[in-house]
């Protein structure tokens, strides 16, 4: 990821140079309803002959951040958190500001499913 | 206006918990007024960092652990998170143990039974009460500890002597071992005032309460007035330790024993007020540590969080704070001496302090992020000064713990 | 800017880790090579404090400024801690070749334990606390100089 510090993107809402490492990676991701749905745990890049490395998708989930850990720790993490991973195409980004805002809802993009699943159980408890 | 007033009182009432209570009274009993200057140093420190955390939350709408991940990266940030959560669980355990000890003084059930009751009580309190109520009830209830301010006054301390003790100086002691113990108490007292969970909780609370940049001034007032008033309680406890317990050769380990000083001056009423205040202070701290841990984990991994959301909409966050209460309860149920748990929680808190303060300091001072609200010259100077102080304290803490045989002498 | 932060935090983590390891290593080194420092003074200091605390409870009970429940429960909490100290002293007596201070203090701790338990049992009658208070006072007076003289340096 080191060579792709700066990138230009012509998707709507992102027409300035953004610093991938500083402004995107490890930042909170929110959906169309401002609900947090993870952090940018990793980026999928592709090598374009004209523009060099450019971002193609956000990778969100334990599977994504486990790759950033030393291997022994990744095994422990996989045992605790599983290795689910969601891929959000770059075109789904509405804008990049404080947080990375997406166009659609978390449910539509397959994010935050663990929270929803648990939420159905918790909803059964009075006051949940 | 009322909001501001309540905010200040809540900050004041939430200042003391079992660690600070124990260390302050013992500091007074062992060293007289010799550690008052440390209390002052610690109070200024928590004001500096509390103000920064509140300001950042108001301006960026981001609490501490979001920032840690963005600023420091995933790996180093994860180590900080794990350390912070572990310390929070330990501190929560200490508070739960203290609550059980205090309840036992009223109704003579076995200690373990009270621990289980405490777990149920705390879990229900957080489940049922809206965030503002949680803050207010336990924060204001903790104000009952003002009885110790009255006790300190009744002990008629020489005010000139007290005032002079606020200047940093090393008292003349009898042996190397005593100097080591003094150093240990300095670090521990500092830690108990600057407990990291307070900052995490305060910053997340600011986001829960939906603070905006306009609230920056209010944040400053609450932090300065609330924490200064809270520090008066800490100073009072040191004075009580020095004037009441010192001459009686008492170095209290149990909260009930500390309450006898209130009984000595104000009878049964004083006793009940003191114990009531302790209960609210310890319960408030238990809740804050559990929520802090949950805030940290949820924010670090980008989960929905907050008591402003119904539990089913922040399900992993909810499970997390319940799990922290459960884990803390389990630690206490192993039968480990709650007094020791208190000691270790305070020591390990200071060890991780620089890890969480540094990213906060960097973000609060970053003009790109904070705009006009970035650290001014005072905040910057004090912020870096305290960064140095807490780093020295963090590095010295464990060696001192070992050299003083677990803080006993 | 961000990478500086990661580096500093990592250095801090390493420094803290080193301080812990270093301190443990030092403690082990001292324990293995040097003459282990007697920690009897710590036990004696705690015993003195518990005795003074029991005295304070007895005083409060006699003056009716503590509730009977409180007296019973607090005396019980103290009694269990005194029992551990008594055991530690019994240990020091046999193991450390009968250190004089331990030999003097152990019977005192036995009496202290008995008195504290009695205080708990008779918590409902404040007047019963008065003779207990007197005897506790005598024990404290003996323990204070004992604890002080046992301190190193």
Number of domains composing chain B: 1
Strand A100-102 and strand A28-30: the pairing is parallel
Residue A19: closest C-alpha in chain C: C2
Tell me if chain A has a CB within 8 Å of the CB of C2: yes
Q: A22: which chain C residues are within 8 Å (Cβ-Cβ)?
A: 1-2
pLDDT 10s digits, B281-334 = 999 999 999 999 999 999 999 999 998 888 988 999 999 999 999 999 999 999
State both tokens at A88.
């959000």
Higher pLDDT, A14 or C67: C67
B119 pLDDT band, cuts 50/70/90, is very high
Query: Could you tell me if residue B37 is inside a domain?
Result: yes
Distance CA C105, CA C40 (A): 10
pLDDT(B144) > 70: yes
State both tokens at C40.
């009897």
Who's near B328: CB < 8 A, 6+ residues apart?
B89, B90, B92, B93, B95, B96, B286, B289, B290
At C153 the pLDDT is 64
Distance CA B376, CA B396 (A): 30
Higher pLDDT, B6 or B182: B182
Q: Please enumerate residues of A whose Cβ is less than 8 A from a Cβ of C.
A: 21-22
Q: B311: which chain A residues are within 8 Å (Cβ-Cβ)?
A: 122, 125, 127-128
Distance CA B74, CA B300 (A): 9
CATH number, domain containing residue B48: 1.20.1740.10
Distance CA B302, CA A28 (A): 6
At A11 the pLDDT is 42
Element (H, E) at A30: strand A28-30
Tell me if chain A has a CB within 8 Å of the CB of C4: no
Spacing of C-alpha B260 from chain mean position: 23
pLDDT(A13) > 50: no
Distance CA B159, CA B153 (A): 10
Could you give the 3-state DSSP secondary structure of residue A32? Answer: coil
DSSP state of A99: S
ipTM above 0.95, yes or no: no
Mean pLDDT of B360-387: 91
Give the minimum alpha-carbon distance from B314 to chain A in angstroms, rounded to a whole number.
7
Residue C80: closest C-alpha in chain B: B337
Distance CA B23, CA B185 (A): 7
Q: Which residues of B338-372 are buried (b: 16+ CB within 10 A; e: fewer)?
A: bbebbbbbbbbbbbbbbbbbbbbbbbbbbeebbee
Q: C12: which chain B residues are within 8 Å (Cβ-Cβ)?
A: 354-355, 358, 391, 394
pLDDT(C139) > 50: yes
C2 pLDDT band, cuts 50/70/90, is low
Q: Which of C16, C57, C72 lies closest to B260 in CB terms?
A: C57
| Distances in whole angstroms, Cα of residue B394 to Cα of each of B16, B68, B176, C19, C61 | 21, 19, 21, 9, 43
State both tokens at C90.
């019994």
% of chain A surpassing 90 pLDDT: 21
Residue C65: closest C-alpha in chain B: B267
pLDDT(C98) > 60: no
Name the residue among C81, C129, C132, C141 with its Cα closest to residue C111.
C132
Neighbour-count burial of B17, counting CB atoms closer than 10 A to its CB (0-12 exposed, 13-18 middle, 19+ buried): buried
Beta bridge partners of C139: none
Contact present, B278 and B255 (Cβ < 8 Å): yes
- Which residue of B299, B312, B370 to mutate against A (max A Cβ within 10 Å)? B312
Q: Which of B79, B176, B362 lies closest to C13 in CB terms?
A: B79
C26 pLDDT band, cuts 50/70/90, is confident
Contact present, B398 and C20 (Cβ < 8 Å): yes
pLDDT(B390) > 90: yes
Tell me if chain C has a CB within 8 Å of the CB of B248: yes
Distance CA C109, CA C84 (A): 10
Element (H, E) at B264: helix B255-301
A7 pLDDT band, cuts 50/70/90, is low
Q: Could you please report the per-residue DSSP string of B77-144?
A: HHHHHHHHHHHHHHHHHHHHHHHHHHHHTTS---HHHHHHHHHHHHHHHHHHS-HHHHHHHHHHHGGG
Residue C2: closest C-alpha in chain A: A22
Q: Which residue ranges form the domains of chain A, and what is each CATH number?
A: 2-122 (2.30.30.240)
Residue range(s) defining the domain that contains residue B191: 2-403
Distance CA B205, CA C137 (A): 50
Query: Could you tell me if residue B408 is inside a domain?
Result: no
- Helix axis angle, B377-403 relative to B338-364, nearest 10°? 150
| Distances in whole angstroms, Cα of residue A92 to Cα of each of A32, A39, A114, B302, C90 | 10, 15, 21, 18, 74
pLDDT(C83) > 50: yes
Residue A121: closest C-alpha in chain B: B312
At A9 the pLDDT is 46
């Amino acid at each position: 990821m080191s060579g792709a510090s700066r990138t230009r993107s012509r998707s709507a809402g992102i027409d300035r140079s953004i610093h991938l490492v500083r402004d995107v990676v490890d930042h909170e991701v929110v959906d169309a309803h401002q609900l947090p749905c993870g952090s940018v745990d990793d980026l999928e890049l592709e090598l374009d002959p004209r523009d060099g490395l450019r971002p193609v998708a956000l990778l969100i989930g334990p599977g994504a951040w486990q790759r950033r850990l030393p291997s022994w720790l990744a095994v422990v993490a996989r045992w605790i958190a599983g290795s689910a991973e969601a891929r959000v195409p770059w075109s789904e980004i509405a804008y990049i500001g404080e947080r990375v805002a997406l166009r659609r809802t978390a449910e539509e993009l397959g994010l935050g499913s663990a929270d929803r699943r648990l939420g159905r159980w918790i909803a059964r408890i009075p006051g949940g | 206006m009322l909001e501001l007033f309540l905010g200040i009182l809540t900050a004041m009432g939430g200042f003391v918990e079992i660690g600070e209570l124990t260390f302050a009274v013992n500091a007074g009993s062992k060293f007289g007024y010799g550690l008052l200057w440390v209390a002052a140093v610690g109070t200024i420190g928590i004001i500096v960092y509390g103000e920064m955390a509140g300001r950042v939350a108001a301006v960026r709408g981001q609490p501490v652990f979001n920032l840690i991940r963005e600023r420091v990266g995933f790996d180093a940030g994860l180590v900080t998170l794990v350390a912070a959560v572990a310390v929070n669980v330990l501190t929560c355990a200490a508070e739960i143990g203290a609550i059980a000890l205090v309840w036992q003084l009223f109704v003579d059930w076995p200690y373990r039974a009270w621990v289980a009751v405490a777990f149920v009580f705390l879990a229900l309190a957080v489940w049922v009460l809206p965030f503002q109520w949680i803050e207010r009830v336990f924060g204001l209830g903790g104000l009952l500890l003002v009885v110790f301010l009255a006790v300190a006054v009744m002990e008629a301390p020489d005010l000139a002597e007290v005032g002079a003790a606020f200047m940093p100086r090393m008292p003349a002691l009898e042996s190397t071992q005593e100097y080591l113990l003094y150093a240990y108490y300095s670090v521990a007292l500092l830690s108990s005032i600057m407990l990291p969970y307070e900052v995490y909780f305060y910053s997340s609370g600011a986001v829960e309460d939906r603070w905006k940049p306009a609230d920056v001034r209010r944040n400053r007032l609450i932090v300065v007035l609330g924490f200064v008033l809270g520090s008066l309680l800490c100073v009072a406890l040191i004075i009580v330790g020095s004037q009441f317990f010192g001459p009686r050769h008492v170095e209290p380990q149990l909260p009930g024993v500390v309450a006898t000083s209130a009984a000595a001056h104000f009878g049964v009423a004083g006793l009940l007020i003191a114990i009531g205040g302790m209960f609210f202070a310890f319960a408030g701290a238990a809740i804050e540590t559990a929520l802090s841990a949950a805030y940290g984990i949820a924010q670090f991994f980008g989960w929905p969080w907050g008591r402003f959301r119904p539990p089913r909409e922040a399900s992993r966050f909810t499970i997390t704070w319940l799990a922290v209460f459960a884990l803390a309860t389990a630690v206490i149920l192993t039968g480990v001496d709650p007094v020791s748990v208190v000691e270790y929680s305070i020591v390990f808190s200071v060890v991780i302090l620089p890890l969480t303060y540094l990213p906060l300091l960097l973000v609060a001072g970053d003009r790109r992020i904070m705009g006009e609200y970035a650290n001014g010259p005072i905040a910057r100077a004090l912020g870096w000064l305290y960064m140095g102080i807490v780093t020295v304290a963090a590095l010295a803490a464990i060696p001192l713990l070992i050299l003083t045989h677990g803080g006993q002498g | 800017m961000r990478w500086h932060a990661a580096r500093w935090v990592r250095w801090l983590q390493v420094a803290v880790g080193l301080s812990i390891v270093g301190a443990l290593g030092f403690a082990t080194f001292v324990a293995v090579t040097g003459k282990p420092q007697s920690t009897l003074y710590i036990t004696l200091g705690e015993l003195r404090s518990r005795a003074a605390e029991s005295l304070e409870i007895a005083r409060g009970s006699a003056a009716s400024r503590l509730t009977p429940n409180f007296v019973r429960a607090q005396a019980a909490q103290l009694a269990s801690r005194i029992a551990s100290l008594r055991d530690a002293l019994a240990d020091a007596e046999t193991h450390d070749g009968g250190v004089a201070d331990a030999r003097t203090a152990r019977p005192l701790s036995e009496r202290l334990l008995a008195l504290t338990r009695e205080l708990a049992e008779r918590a409902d009658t404040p007047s019963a606390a008065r003779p207990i208070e007197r005897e506790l006072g005598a024990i404290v007076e003996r323990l204070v100089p004992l604890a002080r003289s046992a301190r190193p340096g």
